[in-house]
Amino acid sequence: MQSFILETMYSAQKPSAKVTTQTLRKMKAAGEKIAMLTAYDYSFAKLLDESGIDVILVGDSAANVMAGHVTTLPISLDQMIYHGCSVMRAVKRALVAIDLPFGSYQGDSREALRSAIRIMKETGADCVKLEGGREVAESVTKILSAGIPVIGHLGLTPQSINKFGTYVVRATGQEEADRLVEDARLLEELGCTAVVLEKVPADLAARVAGLLKIPVIGIGAGPGVDGQVLVLHDMLGITQGFSPRFLRRYHNLAQEINKSVSSYIEDVKSLNFPNANEQY
Ligand code: KIV
């Protein structure tokens, strides 16, 4: 019985068909959860796509996990486009969203449109993602007017870390929660494809998901939303010293890599590598 229900739900999307913005809406309507992960390079993007991930986010978290910055602020539009192109060369099925980096869309809506057009033209991605609600409404409208799908991002918005001063859970108070609900509704009204909710109380996130027709994808937002997103390097256990409560580690790749590299070093030093079969 349970497998029948799962099969019926999964029929919203044939596993091999290209995931589009329409697919995401259908998945929400059918109650099928959306699985989203970040990727920034060809090799990982290929593995994720072949594994059947629905959405790949070329997140500005590349600033952290690829470049070692403390915040996401330093990454440039050119660098996002470089990562986006690498991912797009690998992906056949997943929908690919690319983050508009800090400073590329907040200033004025024409600059926002220029940035979004560059991303779409130079990478071939399916849509862009940006952070904020009412304060970026003009930019969202302008980008959408060019036919570019937009994913919003509310709650903990890392590009505003200097305003927040901390990465703690957002919208725990009534005023901020009300504002978040209004912003989510606004993003839907403007025509956004989906909204990411980061690090907000689970009951608030579930309420927003219930209010909106567009999918709500959570990270640290509990199970009552329409899908989940994690940073790939966190869930694979590559990043270390970062253990928020919401993060489930599916692997300890850092340990595996350390072991492999140590064995290689030992083999080289002890003349165990290369052996007779590993030479010409
Ligand atoms: O940049 C990113 O990885 C993100 C996710 C955390 C949603 O925005």
85 contact partners, CB below 8 Å, separation of at least 6:
122, 123, 124
Give tens-digit pLDDT for 105-125. 999 999 999 999 999 999 999
Nearest C-alpha neighbor of 150 from the set 174, 133, 172: 133
Query: What average pLDDT does range 166-178 have in this prediction?
Result: 96
What's the 273 CA to ligand 1 centre distance in angstroms? 40
Tell me the residue range of the domain where 60 lies: 19-249
Question: In the block, which residue shows the tokens 């980008």?
Answer: 143
In the numeric block, which tokens belong to residue 264? 């290689």
Question: How much is the pLDDT for 16?
Answer: 81
C-alpha–C-alpha distance, residues 184 and 201, integer Å:
15
Q: How confident is the model at residue 248 (pLDDT cuts 50, 70, 90)?
A: very high
Question: How much is the pLDDT for 1?
Answer: 43
Looking from the CA of residue 231, the nearest atom of ligand 1 is 3
In the numeric block, which tokens belong to residue 73? 């602020």
Residue 265 covered by a domain: no
What's the 58 CA to ligand 1 centre distance in angstroms? 8
Query: What average pLDDT does range 27-51 have in this prediction?
Result: 98
Residue 10 covered by a domain: no
Residue 165 covered by a domain: yes
- Reduced to 3 states (helix: H, G, I; strand: E, B; else coil), residue 180 is helix
Q: How confident is the model at residue 4 (pLDDT cuts 50, 70, 90)?
A: very low
Which residue out of 34, 198, 234, 242 has the highest number of ligand 1 atoms within 8 Å of its CB and is therefore the one to mutate? 198
Residue 257 covered by a domain: no
Question: Cis omega (within 30 of 0) on the bond before 274?
Answer: yes
Q: How confident is the model at residue 13 (pLDDT cuts 50, 70, 90)?
A: low
Q: Is the CB of 229 under 6 A from ligand 1?
A: yes
Looking from the CA of residue 59, the nearest atom of ligand 1 is 1
Q: Is the CB of 239 under 6 A from ligand 1?
A: no
Question: In the block, which residue shows the tokens 């340990």?
Answer: 255
Residue 42 covered by a domain: yes
**Would you please indicate which residues are annotated as catalytic (active-site) residues?**
198
Residue 241 covered by a domain: yes
What's the 60 CA to ligand 1 centre distance in angstroms? 6
Q: How confident is the model at residue 15 (pLDDT cuts 50, 70, 90)?
A: low
**Averaged pLDDT of the chain:** 95
Question: How much is the pLDDT for 271?
Answer: 98
C-alpha–C-alpha distance, residues 150 and 142, integer Å:
11
Residue 144 covered by a domain: yes
Question: How much is the pLDDT for 177?
Answer: 98
What's the 158 CA to ligand 1 centre distance in angstroms? 8
Query: By alpha-carbon position, which residue is closest to atom 2 of ligand 1?
Result: 59
Query: By alpha-carbon position, which residue is closest to atom 8 of ligand 1?
Result: 59
215 close to 25: Cβ distance less than 8 angstroms: yes
What's the pTM?
0.94
Residue 97 covered by a domain: yes
What's the 174 CA to ligand 1 centre distance in angstroms? 25
Q: Is the CB of 19 under 6 A from ligand 1?
A: no
Number of domains present in the structure of the chain: 1
Question: How much is the pLDDT for 14?
Answer: 58
The CATH number of whichever domain residue 187 belongs to comes to: 3.20.20.60
Query: What average pLDDT does range 172-196 have in this prediction?
Result: 98
Query: What average pLDDT does range 83-111 have in this prediction?
Result: 98
Question: How much is the pLDDT for 7?
Answer: 47
Nearest C-alpha neighbor of 125 from the set 75, 91, 152: 91
